[in-house]
Each structure stands twice: as structure tokens, then as C-alpha cells.
Structure 1
Amino acid sequence: MDLRAIQAAAVANKVAKGLNLTDVELEFCLLMAEIGEAFMARRRGKPDYDLELADILLFTVGLAEMTGVDLQDAVDRKMRINANRTYRRNDRGVPIKVTTPPAPRT
């Protein structure tokens, strides 16, 4: 299943269950809660860590749909940008972005 199909299926599930489809700010808060749950599951070595990561993706694609973002297109563009970025390491060894190419649209 590609990202567009995941986005459509996630929203269809929200519609079927009567979940939030309009309150973007609430959805961001719920996404943050899911990130916290994933963090705790990972930290505690729980076997459902993978499902918490899946929740993060599902809330993210839901937000994309709610705000009119084609997440597949955005991810493709961002991957091209990241592939063309260059970094240098500072004196502590931390990678610092040197260049940011423009975001090409296809």
C-alpha cells in the first residue's frame, strides 16, 4: 500500500468511526500523545512499540488529509531535498546543514 492509499484508508476509518475530521489543533495534540506513547513503549521494551509507530503515521496522514496535503508528494519532494543536502560536522561532531536546495515540484 502506498502513502496515498494509507492516507485514504486512514481517513475512511475516521469517517466510519465518527472520529475527528475538522479540529486540526486537537489532532496535533493527539499526535503528540501518540509520540509520547511510542517513546514510553520503546523505553519500556514493550512488544507493541511497532503499533505505536503505526499510530503516529496514521495520525500524520489524517492531519495531511484534514489540511489538504498530498503527503506522498510532500515526502517525495522532501526525500529529494534531503538527498541533495550537504552537512559538515562542528567541533563536537554534530552534523550542521550547509546547503538547502530549493524544493522542486513535480
Structure 2
Amino acid sequence: MDLRAIQAAAVANKRAKGLNTTDVPLEVALLTAEVGEAFTAWRRDLPDFAEELADILLFLAGLADMTGVDLQDAVERKLRINEARVYRRDDRGVPIKVTTPPEPRT
């Protein structure tokens, strides 16, 4: 299943269940809560960590749909940008971005 199919399925499920499909601030808050749940599951070594990561993706897909974003296109574009970036490590070993490539043409 590609990201477009995941996005479509996530939104179809939200509509079928009468869940939020229009309130962007609410969806951001719910996404943030899911990130917190994933962190807690990881930190406590709970068995539902993978499920929490899936929840994050599904809420993100819903948010993308609400705002007219094709998540697959956005992710593919961002991967190309990240691949072309160059980093150096500072004295503490922290990666610092040295270059930002021009935006790829689509």
C-alpha cells in the first residue's frame, strides 16, 4: 500500500465513523497526543509501540487530506531534498546543515 492509498483509506475510515475531517487545529492536537502515546509506549517498552506509530501516520494522513496535501508527493519531494543536503558535525558531534539544495522541479 502506498501513501496515497493509506491517505485515502484513513480518510474514508474517518468519514465512515463520523470522526474529524475538517477541524485542522483539533487534528494537530490529536496527532500531538498520538506522538506522546508513542513516546510513552517506547519509554515503557510497551507492546503497542508499533500501533502508536501507525496511529501517528493515520492522523498525519487525515491532516494532509484536510489541508489539500498529497502526502506521497510531499514525502517524495522532501526525501530528494534531504538526500542532497550536506551536514558537518560541530565540536559536540551535533550535525549542522551546511547546504540546502535548490528545490527540485516536479
Q: What is the TM-score of this pair, normalised by structure 1?
A: 0.98
Amino acid at match of 2:28: F
Does structure 1 residue 90 correspond to structure 2 residue 98?
no
**Which position in structure 1 is the counterpart of 2:72?**
72
Q: Which residue number in structure 2 is paired with residue 13 of structure 1?
A: 13
Q: CA RMSD in A?
A: 0.6
Give every structure 1 segment of 4 or more consecutive aligned residues whose post-TM-superposition deviation is greater than 6 Å.
none
Find the counterpart in structure 2 of residue 63 from structure 1.
63
Hey, what's the Cα distance between the residues in 2 that align with 1:32 and 1:82?
Answer: 24
C-alpha separation in 1, matches of 2:73 and 2:101: 17
Provide the identity percentage: 77
Unaligned 5+ residue runs, structure 1? none
The aligned residue for residue 99 of structure 1 is 99
Instruction: Return the alpha-carbon distance in structure 2 between the equivalents of residues 83 and 103 of structure 1.
Output: 12
Number of positions where the alignment pairs a residue of Structure 1 with one of Structure 2: 106
User: Normalised by the size of structure 2, how large is the TM-score?
Assistant: 0.98
Query: Contact 1:28–1:63 at 8 Å: present in 2 too?
Result: yes
Long gaps (5+) in structure 2: none
Distance between the aligned counterparts of 1:99 and 1:61, measured in 2?
30
